Amino acid sequence: MRALGIDVGVRKGLDLVLLDGSLQPLEQRRRVTIDDLAAEIDALAPDAIAIDGPPSWGKTGGRSRRTEQELRRFGIGSYGTPSDPARGDHPFFSWMVVSFRVFEVAARSGFPRYATGSVRGTAMEVFPHASAVVLAGALPPAGSPKHVFRRAVLSARGVRTAELQSADQVDAALAALTGLFALHGERFAPGDPKEGVIVLPARTLPPPPYRRAVAPPNPEYQLHLPGLSPCVCGDPGCASLTASEFAPGHATKRKALLWAIAREGDAAEAELRRRGWELPAELR
């Protein structure tokens, strides 16, 4: 399954990232215009589209929608989408107007706005900040740059981030990852479907509010996120956080390190045998 994440911008255009189950960005696009978006959607052929922005003005009156109000209960702040279209004349809301147009293009390309049920073949609203909090199980550490926290969350979930060249592409990748979770049935969408719901990458949420993650004293260390720990692959440059002992594919790094040590002593050879990993040919 393939999910296309779209980060919305006014002057900079749109950032697009396509993810599949490999969690390696298949395609990336920068500065895409609204006029070119339909062609990009056709070319990338996603199973679902995840857009960082609302689909329309609110419907129930007030300065924000129910979905945004629900997120605030969990400590996840967001800009409110008002119900008065006249606010669209204010420059601050111009990015929302662009988001509305993105949803319109997606609908004309065969991806109607998501409301309830399966997300396959739909365009859903997502919020990268909220997705990062839900995936991490915590709010960003106080003072942590948002792009650092979000990139760390992507890495912790196995997404390769080396190709992501900007904070906007990180947000597009988080949107795509949320879309993949939703395609696999891992979705929670609080609010009123009539005015738009924000899809989150989880079946349920814990009791509110989320607590703030602990910031390590050394900025070179990895973020400490609940339920996640540093990968033990042995590579000093590894920045992955993982819920298991190794990040995906990183057991191979650990094995190679043990092979090198095993050629010089018995301790590593014993660990290789304990794990059931093969020995280098000269030690068999």
pLDDT tens figures, 150-173? 999 999 888 999 889 899 999 999
Q: How many CB atoms lie within 10 A of CB 48?
A: 25
Whole-prediction pTM value?
0.77
Burial class (CB in 10 A: 0-12, 13-18, 19+), 44: middle
Pick from 37-51, 142-156, 166-180, 221-235: least confident: 221-235
How far apart, in whole angstroms, are the C-alpha atoms of residue 131 and residue 128? 5
Report the amino acid identity of residue 17: V
Using an 8 Å Cβ cutoff, are 5 and 50 in contact? yes
Q: Which of 24, 82, 19 is nearest to 54 (CA)?
A: 82
Rounded to an integer, the average pLDDT of 60-84 is 91
pLDDT value of residue 221: 40
70 residue type, one letter = E
Q: Give, as one character, the DSSP assignment of residue 92.
A: G
Interior/surface letters 80-106, b for 16+ CB within 10 angstroms, e for the rest:
ebbbeeeeeeeeebebbbbbbebbbbb
Query: For residue 4, what is the DSSP state?
Result: E
Average model confidence (pLDDT) for the chain? 86
What is the arithmetic mean of pLDDT over 109-116?
A: 97
Closest of 126, 139, 136, 141 to residue 172, by C-alpha: 126
pLDDT of res. 220: 40
pLDDT digits (tens, 9 = 90+) for 186-205: 999 999 998 999 999 999 99
DSSP structure string for 113-139: BP-SS--TT-EEEE-HHHHHHHHHTSB
What is the structure's pLDDT at 267? 63
